[in-house]
């Protein structure tokens, strides 16, 4: 199922010092990329440390320049937050609860893992549609600081774009997987997002979110961050963390009990991919978010984007929504 209309969406991400934007519509029943943009910024995007008015002006200026120079015509926009800005917890709920009862339980669950005042957060939830166990269903409770949302809205208030969706990068990536690859019933898939400072693992079962976990290379309080892991160290870290989650959640005994593993993100290296492929008897690939999408005939794609499509997974995935 895809958009009911041709309205489409503009997907935007800021990752470190890289701005990415993609304009996607449905044409003839197929997702079509009309515009795709990647620009370097003068300083990294750090919403936690930098929320002043000057930063708002800088970021809105970057967006406005990209929209103008690339003749972006759509206004509806999806913005994906990094998962480190969001609190998430999967919880069981009884079948048959009313919307009011579910909301009350969601707020109660949120109070259990939010240390500050719950009034400082926006609380939402996703109802998971995976296989039901032991007579209950599961929901994913999601909490994000109001100050973060207000900052994002302030940036876009100084542009001609209209924020319709504020997503989380994990879920944008899942949409990119579903749109470009077959996800069979019961199939176990690991998504590995490799960034400059962490690995984010997300497991899918039958194409549905099952769990996610973050492993940071450096302590957040460490101002002098160490060197990025070597290829060998990174390969071992990925293997170790995937296997730990498999064992902890009783999904098997080793990586080869998975059906597929996908790598994406800023720091995916061919050497790491090849080592993993050679070591494990399971299909391991980089995500190509353009695999089943088509490009409009007049789209000019920078060679840097063609060379590393796995860095556009979140930007593209944020636009692939079913409405």
Q: Is 251 domain-assigned? A: yes
pLDDT range class, residue 38, cuts 50, 70, 90: very high
pLDDT range class, residue 49, cuts 50, 70, 90: low
- 157 and 110, same domain (yes or no): no
- What's the residue count for the chain? 323
Residue 247 domain boundaries: 184-286
Q: Which of 39, 42, 1, 47 is nearest to 20 (CA)?
A: 39
- 140 and 34, same domain (yes or no): no
- 246 and 126, same domain (yes or no): no
| Pair of tokens at residue 207 | 């194409």
Integer Cα distance of 267 and 262 in angstroms: 13
- 189 and 279, same domain (yes or no): yes
Kindly report the average pLDDT of the chain as a whole number: 90
pLDDT range class, residue 131, cuts 50, 70, 90: low
- 205 and 277, same domain (yes or no): yes
Where residue 203 sits, what CATH number does that domain have? 3.30.420.40
Residues 6+ apart with CB under 8 A from 41: 14, 17, 18, 19, 62
- 225 and 298, same domain (yes or no): no
Domains: count for the chain: 3
pLDDT range class, residue 230, cuts 50, 70, 90: very high
Can you give the pLDDT at residue 283? 97
Q: Is 323 domain-assigned? A: no
Q: Is 2 domain-assigned? A: no
- 55 and 157, same domain (yes or no): yes
What are 63-90's pLDDT values in tens digits?
Answer: 999 999 999 999 999 999 999 899 999 9
- 47 and 168, same domain (yes or no): yes
Alpha helices, H only, 29-139? 53-69, 99-113
- 17 and 165, same domain (yes or no): yes
- 48 and 94, same domain (yes or no): no
- 39 and 152, same domain (yes or no): yes
| Residue 96 confidence (pLDDT) above 50 | yes
| Residue 55 confidence (pLDDT) above 90 | no
Q: Is 227 domain-assigned? A: yes
- 130 and 223, same domain (yes or no): no
- Return left, alpha or beta for 249; rule: phi > 0 is left, psi -120 to 50 is alpha, else beta: alpha
| Residue 223 confidence (pLDDT) above 80 | no
Alpha helices, H only, the chain? 53-69, 99-113, 146-157, 169-180, 231-248, 270-279, 303-307, 313-317
CB atoms within 10 A of CB 55: 18
Q: Is 222 domain-assigned? A: yes
Q: Is 15 domain-assigned? A: yes
Q: Is 208 domain-assigned? A: yes
Concatenated DSSP letters of 177-205: HHHHS---TT-EEEEEEE-SSEEEEEEEE
Q: Is 179 domain-assigned? A: no
């Amino acid at each position: 199922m895809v958009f009911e209309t041709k309205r489409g969406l503009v997907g935007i991400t800021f990752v470190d010092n890289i701005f990415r934007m993609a304009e996607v519509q449905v044409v003839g029943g197929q997702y079509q990329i009309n515009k795709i943009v990647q620009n370097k910024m003068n300083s990294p995007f750090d919403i936690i440390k930098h929320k002043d008015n000057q930063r708002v002006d800088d970021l809105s200026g970057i967006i406005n320049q990209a929209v103008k120079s690339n003749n972006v015509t759509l206004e509806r926009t999806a913005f994906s937050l990094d998962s480190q800005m969001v609190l998430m917890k999967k919880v069981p709920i009884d079948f048959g609860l009313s919307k009011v009862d579910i909301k009350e339980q969601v707020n109660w669950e949120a109070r259990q893992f939010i240390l500050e005042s719950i009034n400082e957060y926006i609380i939402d939830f996703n109802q998971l549609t995976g296989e039901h166990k032991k007579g209950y269903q599961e929901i994913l409770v999601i909490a994000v600081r109001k100050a973060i949302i207000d900052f994002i809205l302030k940036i876009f208030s100084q542009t001609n774009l209209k924020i319709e969706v504020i997503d989380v990068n994990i879920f944008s990536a899942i949409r990119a997987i579903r749109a470009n690859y077959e996800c069979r019933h019961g199939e176990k898939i690991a998504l590995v997002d490799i960034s400059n400072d962490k690995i984010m693992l997300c497991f899918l079962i039958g194409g549905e979110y099952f769990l996610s976990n973050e492993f940071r290379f450096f302590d957040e309080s460490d101002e002098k961050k160490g060197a990025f892991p070597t290829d060998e160290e990174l390969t071992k870290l990925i293997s170790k963390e995937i296997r730990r989650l498999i064992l902890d959640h009783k999904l098997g005994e080793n990586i080869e009990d998975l059906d597929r593993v996908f790598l994406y993100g800023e720091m995916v290296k061919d050497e790491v991919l090849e080592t993993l492929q050679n070591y494990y008897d399971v299909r391991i690939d980089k995500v190509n978010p353009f695999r089943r999408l088509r490009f409009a005939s007049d789209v000019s794609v920078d060679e840097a984007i063609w060379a590393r499509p796995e860095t556009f997974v979140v930007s593209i995935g944020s636009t692939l929504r079913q409405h």
